[in-house]
């Protein structure tokens, strides 16, 4: 069952067992070969989230989000939430280990896509976290405070202390880099 294999892969990722997570996900990919494109896109996005969560591999986030976007291009119905998730994850990957200019371009595109639309806490986290990291890469450490705090608060509301912790750590690191030791 695809749903159980996705759960297994995610558990293995959170256990730090990358090989086992990838083995389970490889089975997911095989089982979804003939599934609708939206279902395949969602699976790639879920896998990409592990690589900017418990296992930090920005290059795989870029690769898997590109695969998800390719699948989304085949979808006839609107898949706005999935497209936003893929672009936000790409912005994160670029902010962490790629082109800050590309991260900022993706963030601007996301701003246009969501203008006037309600967003949830996970989306708020994705965007704010990428903004904070891009600011730090530009050495705008004080500019990273507000988005780091917004991301941490969003994850606290969502009941995800695991993701909130990284936001607080980034805010503290930015403050230390800015010389704001208080």
Reported as a pLDDT band with limits 50, 70 and 90, residue 129 is: very high
pLDDT digits (tens, 9 = 90+) for 92-117: 999 999 999 999 999 999 999 888 88
Q: What is the pTM of this model?
A: 0.90
Calculate mean pLDDT across residues 152-165: 92
Q: In Å, what is the CA distance from 126 to each residue of 29, 102, 135?
A: 25, 16, 14
Task: Provide the terminal-to-terminal Cα distance of the chain, rounded to the nearest Å.
Answer: 51
Tell me what pLDDT residue 53 has.
Answer: 80
Reported as a pLDDT band with limits 50, 70 and 90, residue 76 is: confident
Query: What secondary structure does DSSP assign to the chain, as a single string?
Result: -HHHHHHHHHHHHHTT-HHHHHHHHHHHHHHTTTS-HHHHHHHHHHHHHHTBTTSB-HHHHHHHHHHHHHHHTT-SS--HHHHHHHHHHHHHHHHHHS-HHHHHHHHHHHHHHHTT----HHHHHHHHHHHHHHHHHTT-TGGGHHHHHHHHHHHHHTT-HHHHHHHHHHHHHHHHHTT---
pLDDT digits (tens, 9 = 90+) for 18-61: 999 999 999 999 999 999 999 999 999 999 999 988 888 999 99
Tell me what pLDDT residue 43 has.
Answer: 97
């Amino acid at each position: 069952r695809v749903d159980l294999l996705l759960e297994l892969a995610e558990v293995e990722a959170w256990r730090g067992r990358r090989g086992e997570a990838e083995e389970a996900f490889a089975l997911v990919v095989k089982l979804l070969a003939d599934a609708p494109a939206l279902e395949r896109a969602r699976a790639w996005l879920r896998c990409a989230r592990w690589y900017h969560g418990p296992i930090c591999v920005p290059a795989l986030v870029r690769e898997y989000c590109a695969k998800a976007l390719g699948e989304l291009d085949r979808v006839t119905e609107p898949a706005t939430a999935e497209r936003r998730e893929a672009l936000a994850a790409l912005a994160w990957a670029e902010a962490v280990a790629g082109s800050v200019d590309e991260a900022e371009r993706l963030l601007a595109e996301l701003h246009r896509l969501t203008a006037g639309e309600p967003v949830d806490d996970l989306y708020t986290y994705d965007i704010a976290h990428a903004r904070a990291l891009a600011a730090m890469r530009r050495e705008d450490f004080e500019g990273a405070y507000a988005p780091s705090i917004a991301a941490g608060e969003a994850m606290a509301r969502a009941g995800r202390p695991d993701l909130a912790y990284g936001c607080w750590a980034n805010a503290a690191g930015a403050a230390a880099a800015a010389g704001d030791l208080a």
